[in-house]
Structure 1
């Protein structure tokens, strides 16, 4: 007979390869209990310091096994019992946590003899809430030493190394399986025991990382009430692990308190929809330490199948550490810890690496997000990054929604690949968002120094009606700088370096004052201009609201009249028409609201970016759509879809388009045309707005950019009377970037044209 002969050394080789350490072995046995529909499993260590007399007992209250199941499952190495069908447990419908059927090799890793007593539960339908009493029992003994003394596996049968006895009547009424492993392979030293206890404390996720947070802990709502840590079906009574004897955990679970955190973040990705969601909130303690702390929410569509589905919760302590047993962000598959992620010496998120090499720069991981969605960070925010000790949390995965995640053969982590890189990337983005929001919250607003306040008051007394106090201060400091430089030049020409040095030293305070005033007022200039631009269009908005109000009143009368019509068909027709008018009015209000929010929101002035000109113009166009329709104006947006502005604030570009389009609508005649075009030419971004109607005298056109010189001689019925500031503000926006704006000769068919040019670099 020809066939394979398998050496008994296979068990030793497989055990070393597939079960790396004692804690991994016990985790595999606990997983077996979970897969067997157990609600409670106890792991007891007895006299672990003595290999000869020591023992480990793992006992559960699951469905148990009969003789056939024991042989097909426990005695079949790499069996297929967990790879068939829908891969769920028979009664509670739990998604199996194991796949390869090698968990029984864990007993080989731990000891030389394993005794098994398993009482088989009676039949129960899928979805039952409890297991029925036991109906049979299996008692088995596996002597690994006796097996290893044989040469091949086919010699085991009849050797007495494996004994299996079946009993029709169980010894106890309750179902379940008990494994007693003794003698031990090795005595458990204090180091091995401490290492196990540290890992056992987080075998299952701490309650603070997935259960409902206590009321009032976070300042703002997060994503979940309870995180789905396991793929369980309705009616599952739950699962608990208890360690006893020499493995008793004692008080190691004390840090299960969310109130100790400064920030709490939750994140999730759904591979079916492609939607990534992240929410952060300071806790009450975090707000006490940083009163300016605010929450943040992000939703980003990454595309279906971009990575495996996952959920997570991360708790951070600012300038503090969690207890050693629980610090770190761990990964869980079906509610069981995946080692080594989150271990003391593991740095799967690169937090320790950043902490040890941190530099004066912004966090690079946040560059993966859309710049318009995240709060702007401080220039040196990486300096406040903390290591793993400041974080406690869990990332939760399910078998069914985690394609691409494969365990290494030793059960120590996942094989490298895009799926796990995806999880790593977004978990790190979340921790860096915590760092960014925390650092921004702790930045104190600059308080005006008392001497600056006195200087400002003095300037207010001395400035005339044509000059602001700040402008006077800047001008006086600039004049002093000019005099100092002239004195320095004269001193250098006569080789009087002592005087030159003294003049340079005396020059420094003036330069510092100018710099501080630039810091104080320069950052506010953008919003001042935006608000001024918006104010210039306020009359248009007031007229728009008045017009909408009149139409709503008319709509109410139409509905009232419809109720007096005797003919049901005519009543329905009237109501349908009124309904359509109401929808049109709602859309009209929405367009106006979109523009106002876009122009005044924090996002519009937070960070410069290269903006798509066509999209930005369309946002502004919606604000004027009602007037354009009423005047029957044809508006042509001829801006190419791929042209972008140089880096600008979104609100600045909106302000430019608002003022130019407002003028074009006002001066276009009924039935006229407006055309907007753009191009990149000679290193400039060029935009031109042309309209029919009233022409502009080009010889006098430049004065129209002066303040309070209105281009409107009589009020527009909808857009109102011009304030004479629109073109002034527009010129300020353009000149801020070294650009230029002017009226130019229009092309054929148009009466007026305005063109602005901004350097691309």
Structure 2
């Protein structure tokens, strides 16, 4: 009889195609447990760093298998056991997550052998709330190495590579399946294990992305009490995954409280009715900072079957980022994460792209809403967009209501297409609505009282041409206050307390006016200093762009020369080198752009925080990397990773480090050294920067803090010549908090040191 013969290499080929890495393999085994009506699955790793002695154990409390089910299911590649009937689990009615019958190849990916012990639950009707005791047991062993040595799959039954033993007497009363995989195919390096633990954090959605929000968390109702994340029957007791041994998640602190967010949005589309709904609201945290913040609710009929049904919740942070393991908006199918994940490098909503480019000044994507009650955004609202790190969210899909979403063969994600674009488009609209309403709330113009306008006009008419009207008003009120206090002092000496009371009452308007002007103009002073600080570094950025432009011209010539080479090998080598240099230039521009965006963005001046000083210095250092590399300077950052400043604006710290590091780089000799240190001392946050090269006369150093007293006697080739404002601006930042800055005696081996200190409280 003629037929097909299948080579055993099929396992290896399918394994590479369908289960590309260890984390995917474990996810497949966990999904199998879910499909088997398990309420708990434990995944334990033992000695994972040693392939020969390592072991992975996956144990669940599901319905288990008898011998026939094991052969038809586990031993049948691409079996159809989950494609028959209504494609739901037998007891709790869960929609099957597996459909291609290749999940058992996950054990092949992980190890050389797998031992299976499965205890079959007794008869039970769908809708039960618990499983009955086990009535039989099957024990099996699959030796993948022995199978791979065979030529065809036909030879497996006679080889002993697969053994199955059935028993009518289960060894335990409870049902369930345990897979023990050993030895391992690969020793789990620290990188593999770290990658898995990060992915494990979002294998299932975090509770705050779907569970009921705490009372008072948001200012108004959103769309859901609790988001439907799976296609379930009401009897389902739930499903939990626990990682143990070398795979233990440990003490990773993942966000559990929606109170950390500033805005929360929910989105829903029902393909049966064609109804789209979006709602967003500020949280209690946002309302404390911006009492005028308002929510928004929108509904629209897009038409039946306009796209797949989905629901989602997105939480936004204004002054911070979510932990990297969970940041971004992720997709979940039947409660299990699928690609795209929304993390760095998987920018399916183009949040990072828009944040880094800031090309769109307005949120043009909101035009598709066509909502009469949608307020007009300000001209620069697009500048306040944020990347994936500022968002934590989940979009939930169910198989029965997601036609058009075709999964890739590995089931790790979806094929590009109109259905996925539909979800991305409307999820992004929800994000852009957060951007608009947050921007409107934080940039709402303050109405100036008529009497204030009149006072300003009078001051303008009376003030000297060399004096600003506001300064005149402050001085005029100060003179009036001084005069009133003099009258009060004289009245007290006369025991004329009636005059004291009258003068004190008349003093009140002047005090109130000065307080109002302080409120109006005091907050703007920080922004003025930030802008001035960035202006001092504009020349450096211009030099950087000019330098990049010259190098691009050189690359163009090198490519042209490569095309004239007759030796193909030399041509390819020259093009590869030029390509790498072009990529380095692109990365250089990107790093500078990221820094400039961070330094000039609204977030840098919106709220004070205790800033991690080490990583903030590193962000500034990237801006000077080109000159540092050219001069061969070694920069040593000894600041502790957990050292924080007192509460300050991030842009102020940026401004301080910009000016100090710019001077240090200019004056450090070629091949020299720069060192930055920080410590808490006597109630002060004390930071010191030292460099080799040119020293400073400490007896005359204070003059460099005066305006226009440049420390640079000759221009730097890249950083240019200073304008004499850098240290003046830096001193203003430090003195704003009651601190001080000065040149100090350098430590041994250094020529110059400058130290600033700011009170901790």
Q: TM-score, normalised by structure 2?
A: 0.59
Tell me how far 1:290 sits from its aligned partner: 1.7
Tell me how far 1:317 sits from its aligned partner: 0.3
Conserved 8 A contact 1:359-1:380:
no
Task: Single out whichever of 46-55 and 407-416 deviates more from structure 2.
Answer: 407-416
Tell me how far 1:319 sits from its aligned partner: 2.7
The match for 2:82 is: 82
SS in 1 for 2:264: strand
Classify 1:5/1:247 alpha carbon distance in 2 versus 1 (closer, same or farther; 3 Å).
same
The match for 1:616 is: none
Classify 1:225/1:371 alpha carbon distance in 2 versus 1 (closer, same or farther; 3 Å).
closer
Classify 1:270/1:409 alpha carbon distance in 2 versus 1 (closer, same or farther; 3 Å).
same
Tell me how far 1:365 sits from its aligned partner: 1.0
Tell me how far 1:252 sits from its aligned partner: 2.3
* Distance of 2:371 and 2:40 partners within structure 1: 49
Matches within 5 A, 1:553-592: none
Matches within 5 A, 1:298-317: 298-317=298-317
Classify 1:343/1:298 alpha carbon distance in 2 versus 1 (closer, same or farther; 3 Å).
same
Tell me how far 1:294 sits from its aligned partner: 0.5
* Distance of 1:92 and 1:70 partners within structure 2: 20
The match for 1:4 is: 4
The match for 1:209 is: 209
Residues 347-385 of structure 1 deviation map (CA, whole Å, 9 limit, x = unaligned) = 010000000111362112111110424221111111000
The match for 1:374 is: 374
Q: Is 1:292 aligned to 2:292, yes or no?
A: yes
Q: Is 1:321 aligned to 2:325, yes or no?
A: no
SS in 2 for 1:156: helix
The match for 2:383 is: 383
What stretches of structure 1 of length at least 5 have no aligned partner?
A: 460-761
Q: Is 1:53 aligned to 2:53, yes or no?
A: yes
* Distance of 1:359 and 1:344 partners within structure 2: 20
Conserved 8 A contact 1:252-1:325:
no
Tell me how far 1:456 sits from its aligned partner: 6.8
Q: Is 1:438 aligned to 2:438, yes or no?
A: yes
Classify 1:228/1:66 alpha carbon distance in 2 versus 1 (closer, same or farther; 3 Å).
same
Matches within 5 A, 1:345-364: 345-359=345-359, 361-364=361-364
Residues 565-606 of structure 1 deviation map (CA, whole Å, 9 limit, x = unaligned) = xxxxxxxxxxxxxxxxxxxxxxxxxxxxxxxxxxxxxxxxxx
Residues 16-51 of structure 1 deviation map (CA, whole Å, 9 limit, x = unaligned) = 101121111111100000000000000000010011
The match for 2:600 is: none
Tell me how far 1:407 sits from its aligned partner: 1.1
SS in 2 for 1:241: strand
* Distance of 1:136 and 1:287 partners within structure 2: 60
Matches within 5 A, 1:727-746: none
Tell me how far 1:253 sits from its aligned partner: 4.5
SS in 1 for 2:34: helix
SS in 1 for 2:127: coil
SS in 1 for 2:157: coil
Classify 1:39/1:455 alpha carbon distance in 2 versus 1 (closer, same or farther; 3 Å).
closer
Conserved 8 A contact 1:20-1:412:
no
* Distance of 1:340 and 1:434 partners within structure 2: 22
* Distance of 2:348 and 2:180 partners within structure 1: 36
Classify 1:350/1:360 alpha carbon distance in 2 versus 1 (closer, same or farther; 3 Å).
closer
Classify 1:368/1:71 alpha carbon distance in 2 versus 1 (closer, same or farther; 3 Å).
same
The match for 1:454 is: 455
SS in 2 for 1:299: strand
Tell me how far 1:458 sits from its aligned partner: 11
Residues 171-197 of structure 1 deviation map (CA, whole Å, 9 limit, x = unaligned) = 100000000111111011111101000
Classify 1:323/1:455 alpha carbon distance in 2 versus 1 (closer, same or farther; 3 Å).
closer
Conserved 8 A contact 2:210-2:229:
yes
Classify 1:437/1:182 alpha carbon distance in 2 versus 1 (closer, same or farther; 3 Å).
same
The match for 1:397 is: 397
Conserved 8 A contact 2:354-2:360:
no
What stretches of structure 2 of length at least 5 have no aligned partner?
A: 461-761
The match for 1:241 is: 241
* Distance of 2:170 and 2:284 partners within structure 1: 56
Q: Is 1:120 aligned to 2:120, yes or no?
A: yes
Matches within 5 A, 1:546-557: none
Larger Rg: 1
Q: Is 1:341 aligned to 2:346, yes or no?
A: no
The match for 1:162 is: 162
* Distance of 2:156 and 2:183 partners within structure 1: 20
* Distance of 1:383 and 1:32 partners within structure 2: 46
Tell me how far 1:447 sits from its aligned partner: 4.4
Task: Single out whichever of 361-370 and 70-79 deviates more from structure 2.
Answer: 361-370
Conserved 8 A contact 1:360-1:379:
no
The match for 1:622 is: none
Conserved 8 A contact 1:311-1:396:
yes
Classify 1:360/1:312 alpha carbon distance in 2 versus 1 (closer, same or farther; 3 Å).
closer
* Distance of 1:157 and 1:93 partners within structure 2: 35
The match for 1:252 is: 252
* Distance of 1:391 and 1:14 partners within structure 2: 36
Matches within 5 A, 1:639-658: none
Conserved 8 A contact 2:339-2:414:
no
Residues 399-442 of structure 1 deviation map (CA, whole Å, 9 limit, x = unaligned) = 10000111111223100111111000000000000000000000
Tell me how far 1:340 sits from its aligned partner: 3.7
Conserved 8 A contact 1:20-1:411:
no
Q: Aligned residues, how many?
A: 459
* Distance of 1:141 and 1:37 partners within structure 2: 23
Tell me how far 1:254 sits from its aligned partner: 2.7
The match for 1:541 is: none
Classify 1:326/1:141 alpha carbon distance in 2 versus 1 (closer, same or farther; 3 Å).
same
SS in 2 for 1:115: strand
* Distance of 1:243 and 1:458 partners within structure 2: 71
The match for 1:711 is: none
* Distance of 1:455 and 1:257 partners within structure 2: 47
SS in 2 for 1:441: helix
* Distance of 2:413 and 2:364 partners within structure 1: 26
CA RMSD of aligned residues (A): 1.5
Conserved 8 A contact 1:42-1:242:
yes
SS in 2 for 1:220: coil
Matches within 5 A, 1:28-67: 28-67=28-67
* Distance of 1:438 and 1:20 partners within structure 2: 41
The match for 2:70 is: 70
Residues 672-723 of structure 1 deviation map (CA, whole Å, 9 limit, x = unaligned) = xxxxxxxxxxxxxxxxxxxxxxxxxxxxxxxxxxxxxxxxxxxxxxxxxxxx
Conserved 8 A contact 1:24-1:411:
no
The match for 2:176 is: 176
SS in 1 for 2:158: coil
